[in-house]
Amino acid sequence: MVKLVLRDISKKFEDTTAVDYVDFSIDEGSFFTFLGPSGCGKTTLLRMIAGFIKPDTGRILLRNKDITHIPSENREIGMVFQNYALFPHLNVYENIAYGLKIKRITKKEIGNKVEKYLNLVRLEGYENRKITELSGGEQQRVALARSLVVEPKVLLLDEPLSNLDAKLRDKMRIEIRDLQKELGITTIFVTHDQTEALTMSDKIAVFNKGKCIQIGTPREIYAAPTNTFVATFVGETNLFEAEIIDDEAKLNNGIMMDIKKSSTGSYLSIRPQDIKISKEFKNMRNTFKGKVEKIQFNGVVVEYIVDVVRTKFKVSALNNIYIDTEINVGDEVSILIHKNTINVLNNA
């Protein structure tokens, strides 16, 4: 079921186009991520959905109702801010109860609801704590509880994990996703971190320069990027300019590669882990001789830079019992690329 529709939304700030005719919809109950580098327009779009900024063009529909001109306080859209924006003069209980007090419900009901959501975010007994007495992770949870307790139709999360340290971020990632599933609330998550996007989302919209350039499930985005920007922004890749002739591609250095039939575009994208590296040389299609220029070890994987006729290929292999430890810098090696793993793309 379609819940939130963004139709031809655009926004300019003076001369810069922040959001450039964005048009897509978000399913009810899904965890939807806006992914892109800073300045790509994802936060502006989120703030337009929240009602803090008015779009120049387009409409926003929530459950078939046009909310474009409804003030933010009447939209029933909750938001968790990057810096949490917890009210410093109120304690944990008062922060969470803030939105409920506006709704004119009984004190007892407010108490029950606050308790329920405090339990949900696992902060039982924190009612009377001051905001300044909380750790970053605890503040994050209070912010979540505060926006969820009013039972909004949509929850917006604006880079909520960026202020946490790496370990806590991993933990909160799982916590937020579990909470979202449990409550079934439609959630829009803004991030520039591809790992967050890939691990948490039902769907991802990738943004660049104000445009939404690809929407898909994490797997689709990763495995089948539709242009060079997505291929390089989401995950690591080898990107080569190439001339496509039927089911073959000719790289700038002259080497020919088999590719999938009826591919169109002018770039090839090959993920480093899709390339097999070996000291043996078998005379096969898509097998090339090269020389190891660099080896980088980072624990889980080993990365090799292999020079094939002046073109560098990044190759990565899992560091496990099967890895060929005999490969050293300067060695002659062969690399094998399966044609199904080669994505032919257009420039973006």
Partner 1 sequence: MYRMITHKRRNIIKMVGFLTVMWILGGYILYPTLKTIGMSFTGKQGFTLLFYKQFFVIKGNVEALGNTLVLGFSTVIVCGIIGTALAFYVSYFNFPFKDFTYKLLLTPLMLPGIIIVIAFIQLYGESGMITKTIEILFGLDRVPYVFSGFWGIIFVHAYTQYVYFFMNVSVAIKHIDYSVIEAAKNLGASKLKIFTTIIIPFITPAIIASSIITFMTGIGSFTAPSLIGDHYKVLTTQILLAKANNYMEMAAVQVILLMIVSIVFLEVFRYYEKKTHFTSSVNGVGIKPIDIENKWLRTLFMMLSTILVLFIILPVLTILILSFVKSGTWMIEIYPKEFSLDNYMKIFVKSRAFAPFMSSINMSILASLLGAFVAVPCSYIIVKTKCKFKFIVEVLAMLPWTMPASAIAINMINAFNKPTIFSFKGILVGTYIILPLAYFVKILPLILRTTSISLYNLSDTYDEASKSLGASWMYTFRRITLPIIMPGIMAGILLGFIRCVGEYTTSVYLYNVWNKPISMAMVNALFEYEIGLAMAYGVLIILLTAIVSSVITRLVNIGRIQL
Size of the site for partner 1 (CB under 8 A): 30
When binding is defined by CB under 8 A, the residue of 146, 169, 203, 314 that contacts partner 1 is: 146
Segment contacting partner 1 by CB under 8 A, of 15-23, 65-73, 292-300, 301-309: 65-73
Around 322, how many Cα atoms within 13 Å sit in the side-chain half-sphere?
5
Rounded CA-CA distance 57/55 in Å is 5
Nearer to partner 1 by Cβ, of 88 and 254: the residue is 88
Count of CB atoms within 10 A of residue 74's CB?
Answer: 9
Q: What share of the chain is helix, strand, coil (3-state, %, to 5)?
A: 30, 35, 35
Q: Cβ(243)–Cβ(250) under 8 Å? A: yes
22 lines the binding site for partner 1 (CB under 8 A): no
List C-alpha distances in Å: 104 to 97, 125, 154: 11, 25, 21
CB of 89 to partner 1, least distance (A): 5
109 lines the binding site for partner 1 (CB under 8 A): no
Helix locations, 12-135, DSSP H: 42-50, 92-102, 107-120
Task: Kindly provide the residue ranges of all beta strands, DSSP E only, lying in the chain, ordered along the sequence.
Answer: 2-13, 16-27, 31-35, 57-62, 65-66, 77-80, 154-158, 186-191, 203-208, 211-216, 238-245, 248-251, 256-258, 267-270, 275-278, 287-297, 301-308, 311-318, 332-337, 343-345
CB of 291 to partner 1, least distance (A): 42
Contact string 32-61 vs partner 1 (x = CB under 8 A) = ------------------xxx---------
CB of 152 to partner 1, least distance (A): 8
Nearer to partner 1 by Cβ, of 89 and 167: the residue is 89
98 lines the binding site for partner 1 (CB under 8 A): yes
Cα 3 off chain centre by: 20
When binding is defined by CB under 8 A, the residue of 2, 57, 102, 105 that contacts partner 1 is: 102
CB of 52 to partner 1, least distance (A): 5
Site for partner 1 in 68-97 (CB under 8 A): 70-79, 81-83, 85-89
Nearer to partner 1 by Cβ, of 74 and 320: the residue is 74
Q: Cβ(203)–Cβ(30) under 8 Å? A: yes
Nearer to partner 1 by Cβ, of 49 and 292: the residue is 49
Q: Which residues bind partner 1 (CB under 8 A)?
A: 50-52, 70-79, 81-83, 85-89, 98-99, 102-103, 146-147, 150, 152, 156
